[in-house]
Amino acid sequence: MERIVIIGGGFAGLNLAKHLDKSKYRVMVIDRHNFHCFPPLFYQVASSGLDASNISFPFRREFKKMKNVSYHMGHVKEIDMEKRTVRTSYETIPYDKLVVAAGTTNNYYGIPDMEKKVFGMKTVAEASHTRDEILDRLERAAICKDPARRRELLSFLVVGGGPSGVEIAGAIGEMKKYILPREYPELDPAEMKITLVEGTGRVLGAMSAKCSEKARTYLESLCVEVRLNTLVKGYDDKYVTFADGSREYWETIIWNAGIKGEPMPGIPQDCLGRGGRIRVDEYNRIIGHEQDAFALGDIALMTTEKYPFGHPQVAQPAIQQARNLARNLNDPDRKRKFVYNDKGSMATVGKNRAVVDLGHTFFDGWFAWAIWMLIHLISILGMRNRIIVLLNWTWNYLTYSTSLRLLLRPTRFPERRHWGD
């Protein structure tokens, strides 16, 4: 049996492992975390709408049903494509075929030290940290006697007007409109300032103009200021510098301005394309290593006439690429080129506020919000998680109340040590 090593247990890696022929391949999935998670709902973790465990599922529990699949927790230190090995924090793993599905990380566009100063939502840990910081600002503002300092503490800047940025801005707007008056009597909601900045001419730029305009209307109804054609160039000592040279004080910045391919040491530089993504052909084979190396999902750059800059870095292309590659590996005599079937896009901006774009069809409001909830609910891994999320959403819908606004900071010591680090 051939040995396939999959780097990354996201949508692409997990779906590939599930669909490979059990009689032909032994599969090892490498991931730095021991669980699969659901990134489209990270913003709800960051806004205290859901607990991180509700959208996460242990790899080992999922793989126990697949006798040909094993799991290895570790950071990839180096890929040796000549010797066909992957070196992790703990050991060196040989492979017959390699699949890189490591996803992406935040792109700070070369702004010095930005990653140390802003909060993100690319991982469960980042989303949980962002939640803690939002709650910390609210609690500190509630006991602050200086009005000027209180307004500073209640200033939130969301950078990036894609789905994640729009959704977290809407969620914080709901906190201002519904939670503050009920649970923070010491605070005047008017003192809380929420602004979303987007570098292009509209939010949700990948969706239709109708969706963009409606999303902006929803945001403004939740007291979120939207600034378009606005680029962030620096952030120093709590002051944001914009491209026009202006500087403003912002206590908390939530970064959703862009992503780039997760760095993979050992992948040749000539295999990398725009945004650090790995260049692949129409079969998801890495250019120059077509016999034994593949890339899937957000990290794969497959250019076509319709998608000259690669496919959208969302769940559907990753899932479809994984299933197509599994078919090709299971039956190599009948290889199929990958053709992306765009099933549409959607985004939510709070309770009863969502937009759905199905190409030639657009709808919004409560119906779009219900569709958004249904699609995301059935996509979560694990029946227990689906039930808990549904109960949480139902309770929040009826009461606008949640018991998840818990400020849980990790202890500093003892420090965790990793082998090989």
DSSP string of 166-198, one letter each residue: HHHHHHHHHIIIIIHHHH-TTS-GGG-EEEEE-
Q: CA 412: distance to chain centroid? A: 26
Asked whether residue 250 is assigned to any structural domain, the reply reads yes
Residues 229 and 310 in one domain: no
Query: Which residues is 294 bridged to in the sheet?
Result: 99, 285
Sign of CA dihedral 58, 27, 89, 258: negative
Residues 146 and 248 in one domain: yes
DSSP characters over 97-140: EEEE---EEE--TT-TTGGGTSB--SSHHHHHHHHHHHHHHHHH
- Residue numbers of the domain that contains 142: 114-257
- Matching residue, tokens 């891994």: 381
Span 193-223, pLDDT tens digits = 999 999 999 999 989 999 999 999 999 999 9
Asked whether residue 273 is assigned to any structural domain, the reply reads yes
Residues 146 and 176 in one domain: yes
Confidence band for 409, pLDDT divided at 50, 70 and 90: low
pLDDT at 420 over 80: no
pLDDT at 257 over 70: yes
Asked whether residue 196 is assigned to any structural domain, the reply reads yes
Sign of CA dihedral 44, 235, 309, 279: negative
The DSSP output letter for 384 is H
H or E segment at 386? helix 383-399
Q: CA 253: distance to chain centroid? A: 17
The DSSP output letter for 272 is B
Tokens representing 63 are 């793989």
Asked whether residue 78 is assigned to any structural domain, the reply reads yes
Q: CA 7: distance to chain centroid? A: 17
List alpha helices for 175-280, DSSP H: 180-183, 209-221
Confidence band for 401, pLDDT divided at 50, 70 and 90: confident
d(CA 240, CA 246): 8
Residues 211 and 283 in one domain: no
Report the pLDDT averaged over residues 293-319: 94
Asked whether residue 325 is assigned to any structural domain, the reply reads yes
Q: CA 207: distance to chain centroid? A: 18
Residues 86 and 148 in one domain: no
Tokens representing 201 are 């001419």
Strands 362-364, 354-357: parallel, antiparallel or unpaired by DSSP? antiparallel
Residue 191 is a catalytic residue:
no
Residues 134 and 248 in one domain: yes
Residues 75 and 123 in one domain: no
Asked whether residue 350 is assigned to any structural domain, the reply reads no
Residues 250 and 269 in one domain: no
Confidence band for 360, pLDDT divided at 50, 70 and 90: confident
**Are 141 and 187 contacting, i.e. CB atoms less than 8 angstroms apart?**
yes
Domain edge (last residue) among 304, 319, 334:
334
Report the pLDDT averaged over residues 245-250: 96
Residues 225 and 147 in one domain: yes
**Phi (first) and psi of residue 340, to 5 degrees:** -75, 125
pLDDT at 98 over 90: yes
Q: Which residues have C-beta within 8 Å of that of residue 239, sequence separation ≥ 6?
A: 247, 248, 249, 250
> What is the domain count for the chain?
2
Can you give the pLDDT at residue 9? 95
Our CA angle for 243, 249, 254, nearest 5°, is 75
| Average pLDDT score, the chain | 92
Confidence band for 24, pLDDT divided at 50, 70 and 90: very high
Report the pLDDT averaged over residues 60-86: 94
Can you give the pLDDT at residue 361? 86
Residues 160 and 239 in one domain: yes
d(CA 89, CA 419): 6
Q: End-to-end distance of the chain based on CA atoms, in angstroms?
A: 32
pLDDT at 4 over 90: yes
Q: Which of 62, 167, 174, 262 is catalytic?
A: 167
Domain edge (last residue) among 334, 351, 367:
334
What type of residue sits at position 280?
A: V
What type of residue sits at position 28?
A: M
HSE-up of residue 25 (Cα within 13 Å, Cβ side): 25
Domain edge (last residue) among 193, 227, 257:
257
Q: Is 391 helix (H, G, I), strand (E, B) or coil?
A: helix
Q: CA 20: distance to chain centroid? A: 26
Residues 244 and 274 in one domain: no
Residues 11 and 88 in one domain: yes
Asked whether residue 86 is assigned to any structural domain, the reply reads yes
CATH of the domain at 302: 3.50.50.60
Q: Which residues have C-beta within 8 Å of that of residue 19, sequence separation ≥ 6?
A: 322, 323, 326, 327, 330
pLDDT at 359 over 80: no
CA distances from 266 to 4, 78, 283 (A): 18, 5, 21
d(CA 421, CA 19): 34
Asked whether residue 190 is assigned to any structural domain, the reply reads yes
